[in-house]
Amino acid sequence: MRSVRARAALGATLVVALALAAAGLAVLLVLRANLTDQAGLQAEVAAREVAGQLALGVPYDRLETGDEEDHPVQVTDEDGRVVAVSKDLEAISGTGTDRVTRSPAPTPSPTAEDGDDDDDDDGTDGPDPARGEVSTDDPDFANGTATVDGDRADYRFASVEATNAAGLTLTVHAGAPLAAEQRAVGSVRGAMLTGLPVVLLVVAGVTWLVTRRALRPVEGIRREMAAITASEDLSRRVPEPGSHDEVARLARTTNETLTALEASVERQRRFVADASHELRSPIASLRTQLEVGAAHPELLDVTGAVADTVRLQAVAADLLLLARLDAGERPGTALLELGALVREEVSQRTGDRIPVTVSVPEEAGGLEVTGSRTQLARVVGNLLDNAERHARSAVAVAVRAEGGGVAVEVTDDGDGVAEAERERIFERFVRLDDARTRDEGGAGLGLALARDVAVRHGGRLTVTGAGERGARFTLWLPDAR
């Protein structure tokens, strides 16, 4: 089954069917046990009535057995011979013997003394001293059948022992009909078999409708996602139901995913457009200079051509590194001493217009981090390039331990960055309108690249003011330990 509604309805129906079947079986067993116990109690009462007569010395042929059809009676002696049966009993089973006729030589039954005078020698009335007893033990029960006057039926038999006045132990088997129990069990079973399909149909229908109603928002989400896929319009959103259940949370999560995807695609589009613009300018300038040089060699601006080539190379390198970072490239795991890396990077800068002051503590061994040496060197270089472009007279670099990590501060005495713009400058290809970023050297990628590398190394890159003027860029990376 490919439908969730069908599977849910089928599963609920099967569970209810099993539960009802188990409950119905338990009810039938309890009902049958109770009715059987009631029949056994009736059989015991009938058997004890006959046993009481035997204990009082009533002759076998004068026993009162009550209604023979309701309570068939069979009496046997110690040797299993039948000494008495109820009237019209034609067949019996379940009592130990199936004989229903008296034995040819039955054991003589005790009788009361002959004569009309039952008085004692002193002339007073009293009980007969020659009297038997009825066993007080729990009777034995068994199910069987009996045929009375041509009608065969099932009975519950109770067996009670009695001792007559002659000391002979007799067993009375008396039965009670099980017809009421069979009718009651049959009626209940029939009602269950009739009602079970109806209940299951109701359960299946209700489950189908409830599941359909619950999954209706999911179908709406699916249709909208299919439409978004077909139209490629990431500005659309799936409908969010007013409920607070799992489906509503799914819709909200889907919309959040679409929002993030839309922002990512938009950033990618802006990145491609800005990258194309940044590459087109130096390429066009370089081509113009080369075409002029080809036509008029004496007018070739070699210095300008070299500068444009260097700028083009730097932009291409930054774009390549950003593409690798966006693709999920993991930082390296090399152990780096950050103070030594900063000194090395500063020492290689020979064309700076302002000398860079370096401050690294003497215990530089505790300033170790893990990561990619090339990428971290690029971060330091980009921060220094940015400071050189905007500083008036001083650029300083300081390395120190801070908060379980290592901090590198690059400070300049330029115009600084307005507080409202301190996050924007880390966006790709962003150039602010003030004099700080209106320069010919930057393409708006250096700071964005530096922050991406810092974040991927588990650190952060922030900018604050440096005293009355200037800017302080702080790179923090977790300690290697």
The pLDDT score that the predictor gives to residue 67 is 72
The DSSP string of 82-141 is EEEE-TTEEEEESSS----S--SSPPPPP-PPSSS----TTS-----S---EE--SPPEE
Q: Would you place residue 409 in the very low, low, confident or very high pLDDT band (cuts 50, 70, 90)?
A: very high
Please give the model's pTM, rounded to 2 decimal places: 0.50
The tens digit of pLDDT for each residue in 207-240 reads 888 888 888 888 888 888 999 889 888 888 888 8
What is the rounded CA–CA span in Å between residue 464 and residue 454?
Answer: 17
204 and 286: one domain? no
Mean pLDDT, the chain, whole residue set: 83
Residue 115 lies in a domain: no
Q: Would you place residue 410 in the very low, low, confident or very high pLDDT band (cuts 50, 70, 90)?
A: very high
Domain boundary among 233, 264, 291: 233
> Three-state DSSP class for 470?
coil
259 and 344: one domain? no
Length of the chain in residues, anyone? Answer: 481
Q: Would you place residue 451 in the very low, low, confident or very high pLDDT band (cuts 50, 70, 90)?
A: very high
179 and 277: one domain? no
Q: Provide mean pLDDT across the span 168-179.
A: 92
The pLDDT score that the predictor gives to residue 115 is 42
pLDDT of residue 395 exceeding 90: yes
14 and 160: one domain? yes
The pLDDT score that the predictor gives to residue 68 is 66
DSSP, res 330: P
The tens digit of pLDDT for each residue in 88-134 reads 888 999 888 888 888 764 444 444 444 444 444 444 444 454 578 98
Contact indicator for 70, 87 with CB cutoff of 8 Å: no
296 and 344: one domain? no
Instruction: Indicate which CATH number applies to the domain containing 417.
Output: 3.30.565.10
Q: Provide mean pLDDT across the span 204-209.
A: 89
The burial of 122, by beta-carbon neighbours within 10 Å (0-12 exposed, 13-18 middle, 19 or more buried), is given as exposed
Percent with pLDDT over 70 in the chain:
90
Name the helix (H) or strand (E) containing 176. Answer: strand 169-177
> Three-state DSSP class for 239?
coil
Q: What angle do CA 170, 172, 173 make, to 5 degrees?
A: 140
Residue owning tokens 């929002």: 259
The domain tally of the chain equals 3
Pick from 284, 450, 476: nearest CA to 367: 476
Residue 117 lies in a domain: no
pLDDT of residue 286 exceeding 70: yes
90 and 151: one domain? yes
pLDDT of residue 156 exceeding 90: yes
Q: Would you place residue 160 in the very low, low, confident or very high pLDDT band (cuts 50, 70, 90)?
A: very high
Q: Would you place residue 363 in the very low, low, confident or very high pLDDT band (cuts 50, 70, 90)?
A: low
Domain boundary among 322, 355, 382: 322
Contact indicator for 4, 211 with CB cutoff of 8 Å: yes
Residue 52 lies in a domain: yes
428 and 295: one domain? no
Query: By residue range, what is the domain housing residue 28?
Result: 1-106+129-233
The tens digit of pLDDT for each residue in 48-104 reads 999 999 888 888 888 888 776 688 999 998 888 899 998 888 899 988 888 888 876
Residue 124 lies in a domain: no
286 and 397: one domain? no
> Three-state DSSP class for 280?
helix
Residue owning tokens 């690294």: 360
Residue 226 lies in a domain: yes
The tens digit of pLDDT for each residue in 303-334 reads 877 877 877 887 788 788 877 777 777 788 88
Q: In 330-470, which ranges are E strands?
A: 334-337, 356-359, 368-371, 395-402, 405-412, 460-465
Beta-carbon contacts of 460 under 8 Å, excluding residues fewer than 6 positions away, are 451, 454, 475, 476
Q: What are the backbone dihedrals phi and psi of residue 361, each rounded to the nearest 5 degrees, phi first?
A: -65, 155
What is the rounded CA–CA span in Å between residue 280 and residue 272?
Answer: 12
pLDDT of residue 439 exceeding 90: no
Residue 173 lies in a domain: yes
Instruction: Indicate which CATH number applies to the domain containing 266.
Output: 1.10.287
pLDDT of residue 12 exceeding 80: yes
Domain boundary among 233, 258, 287: 233
The pLDDT score that the predictor gives to residue 311 is 77
The pLDDT score that the predictor gives to residue 172 is 93
The pLDDT score that the predictor gives to residue 398 is 93
pLDDT of residue 443 exceeding 80: no
How crowded is residue 223: how many other Cβ atoms within 10 Å of its Cβ?
12
